[in-house]
């Protein structure tokens, strides 16, 4: 017998079949809202405070006032895990503009909708962490920060989805996105790092990327290991010629890229620095965050 899935919707936990929003919700109609993808490890919600802060900052950036406090939101996430017996899993926390009318104006949406789903996720098979991913460069460019700032983890993910659809058509599990100027930005759901001549490079936030929480964790780990870390702009040339390349994200954690656009990167398998950082990350997450 399947276990019931309990989902938080606007102040109460309901079964999945009853977890519904209005067809007039502006999150559905216009992608108007923000979200967080969060991991739980061994009974702790990893860096939950950081995720909550980023959610509230994104809401502030789009002039959306979340109707409960950060402390209350923290309890929503933790209780969602408890209700679903999640000690290792994935949490999706969503805040929409709420129910309005068919017009664009957010002023017609008096109350935001809050949703929290605690479940499990396995983005890539384990063998991919050994062999690495074969990634393509999307023709779809990453949004400029002057249009929709990628630091806002908004419900409007069409920019990323179009690039991911291109990857799907080409049989690739991920797509690398460039800025309008042709600089490396990030993938559709992950940040990117390269190792070149002993240095670890990743694009800076101001180029128009999400300030990833896994990204910042890996930067911290790398610095503690004594690696030379640089947040700097680089191009596809640097990725093609890198010694190693890997992606970071809440769902993917840390995974090697061993082929980009048909160019083999490094030795064609997860490299020693990538493997070392992944091992360190698996230790880093333990006991770090809010206890379930």
Residue 228 and residue 198 in contact, taking contact as beta carbons nearer than 8 Å: yes
Same domain, 168 and 214: yes
In the chain, count of helices (H) and strands (E)?
8, 16
Domain boundary pick from 119, 151, 184: 119
Closest C-alpha among 86, 114, 134, 92 to residue 261? 134
Q: What is the DSSP letter of 25?
A: B
Residue of 98, 203, 193, 97 lying closest to 145 (CA atoms): 203
Per-residue pLDDT at 3: 79
Looking at residue 32, the DSSP 8-state letter turns out to be -
Residues 30 and 167 in one domain: no
Domains: count for the chain: 2
Structure tokens at 56: 């509230």
Residue 1 lies in a domain: no
Number of C-beta neighbours around residue 169 at 10 A = 9
Residue 104 located in a structural domain: yes
Catalytic residue among 47, 99, 134, 153: 153
Per-residue pLDDT, 122 = 78
Q: What is the pLDDT of residue 273?
A: 97
Q: Could you list the pLDDT tens digit for every one of the 292 residues in the chain? A: 467 999 999 999 999 999 999 999 999 999 999 999 999 999 999 999 999 999 999 999 999 999 999 999 999 999 999 999 999 999 999 999 999 999 999 999 999 999 999 999 877 888 999 999 999 999 999 999 899 999 999 999 999 999 999 999 999 999 999 999 999 999 999 999 999 999 999 999 999 999 999 999 999 999 999 999 999 999 999 999 999 999 999 999 999 999 999 999 999 999 999 999 999 999 999 999 999 9
Among 88, 119, 150, where does a domain finish? Answer: 119
Measured on CA atoms in the order 138, 139, 144, 147, is the torsion positive or negative? negative
User: For this structure, is 134 an active site residue?
Assistant: no
Domain boundary among 119, 152, 178: 119
Domain enclosing residue 51, as ranges: 6-119
CATH no. for residue 225?
3.20.10.10
Q: Are residue 133 and residue 278 in the same domain, yes or no?
A: yes
Q: What are the DSSP calls for 164-211, one per residue?
A: HHHHHHTT-S-EEEE-TTS-EEEESS-EEEEEETTEEEE--GGGT---
Res 121: pLDDT: 83
- Separation of alpha carbons 156 and 176, rounded Å: 19
Q: Give the per-residue pLDDT at 123.
A: 78
Q: What share of the chain is helix, strand, coil (3-state, %, to 5)?
A: 30, 30, 40
Angle among Cα 44, 49, 50 to the nearest 5 degrees reads 110
The CATH code of the domain that includes 64 is 3.30.470.10
Q: Residue 1's pLDDT is what?
A: 47
pLDDT tens, 73-111? 999 999 999 999 999 999 999 999 999 999 999 999 999
Q: What is the 3-state secondary structure (H, E, C) of 113-172?
A: EEEEEEECCCCCCCCHHHHCEEEEECCCCCCCCCCCCCCCCECCCHHHHHHHHHHHHCCC
pLDDT digits (tens, 9 = 90+) for 141-154: 999 989 999 999 99
Take residue 24 and report the two structure tokens written for it: 């007039």
Number of C-beta neighbours around residue 104 at 10 A: 12
């Amino acid at each position: 017998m399947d276990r019931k899935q309990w989902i938080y919707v606007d102040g109460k936990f309901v079964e999945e079949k009853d977890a519904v929003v209005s067809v007039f919700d502006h999150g559905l109609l216009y992608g108007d809202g923000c979200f967080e993808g969060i991991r739980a490890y061994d009974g702790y919600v990893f860096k939950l405070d950081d995720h909550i802060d980023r959610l509230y900052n994104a809401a502030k950036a789009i002039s959306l006032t979340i109707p409960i406090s950060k402390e209350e939101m923290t309890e929503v996430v933790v209780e969602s895990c408890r209700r679903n017996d999640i000690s290792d899993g994935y949490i999706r926390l969503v805040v929409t503009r709420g129910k309005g009318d068919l017009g664009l104006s957010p002023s017609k949406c008096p109350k935001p909708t809050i949703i929290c789903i605690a479940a499990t996720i396995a983005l890539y098979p384990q063998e991919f962490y050994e062999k690495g991913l074969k990634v393509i460069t999307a023709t779809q460019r990453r949004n400029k920060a002057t249009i929709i700032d990628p630091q806002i983890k908004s419900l409007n993910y069409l920019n990323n989805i179009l690039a991911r659809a291109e990857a799907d058509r080409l049989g690739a599990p991920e797509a690398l996105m460039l800025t309008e100027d042709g600089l490396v930005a990030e993938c559709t759901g992950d940040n990117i790092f390269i190792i070149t001549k002993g240095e670890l490079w990743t694009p800076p936030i101001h180029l128009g990327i999400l300030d990833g929480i896994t990204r910042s964790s890996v930067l911290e780990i790398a610095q503690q290991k004594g690696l030379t870390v640089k947040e700097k702009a680089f191009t596809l040339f640097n990725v093609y010629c890198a010694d190693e390349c890997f992606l970071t994200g809440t769902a993917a954690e840390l995974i090697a890229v061993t082929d980009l656009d048909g160019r083999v990167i490094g030795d064609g398998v997860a490299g020693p620095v990538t493997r070392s950082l992944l091992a360190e990350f698996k230790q880093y997450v333990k006991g770090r965050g809010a206890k379930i």
